[in-house]
Amino acid sequence: MTSTKKEVKRKENEDRLSSAISTLDNISKNTNIQRNIRNMIKELFFALKDEKGGSVSVRAANAISMLDTITQNPQMQSHIRTMLWQVVSTLESIRE
């Protein structure tokens, strides 16, 4: 892959990551969600932002795993679960 294509791919991945982070931030600020679920989402939010956690694709893969666990909570409201699945879809499109 040429350096220009790599740069475009890196920019696309960063845009997708920032979109996922933005959605998670909005969900974590929603006070109608149970505190334990909000705390898990905040933890995920910080894990995605932490550049020491590896490359963008590694952080995305780890976040997908965490989101799978979070969405299994039977007490979660269905619209929040749907928003989290949307985040999973966005993160799955991140490839290096």
Give the chain's domains with CATH numbers: 3-92 (1.20.1440.50)
Amino acid at the residue 38: R
Share above pLDDT 90 across residues of the chain, in percent, rounded to a whole number:
60
Least Cα distance to 20 among 68, 95, 85 occurs for: 85
More confident residue, 2 or 47: 47
18-31 residue pLDDT tens: 999 999 999 999 89
Asked if the model's pLDDT at residue 81 lies above 90, the reply is: yes
Asked if the model's pLDDT at residue 1 lies above 70, the reply is: no
Among the residue ranges 1-5, 72-76, 87-91, the one predicted with the least confidence is 1-5
39-48 residue pLDDT tens: 999 999 889 9
Asked if the model's pLDDT at residue 2 lies above 80, the reply is: no
Exposed e or buried b per residue across 45-72, where buried means at least 16 C-beta atoms within 10 angstroms of its C-beta = beebeeeeeeebeebbebbbebbeebbe
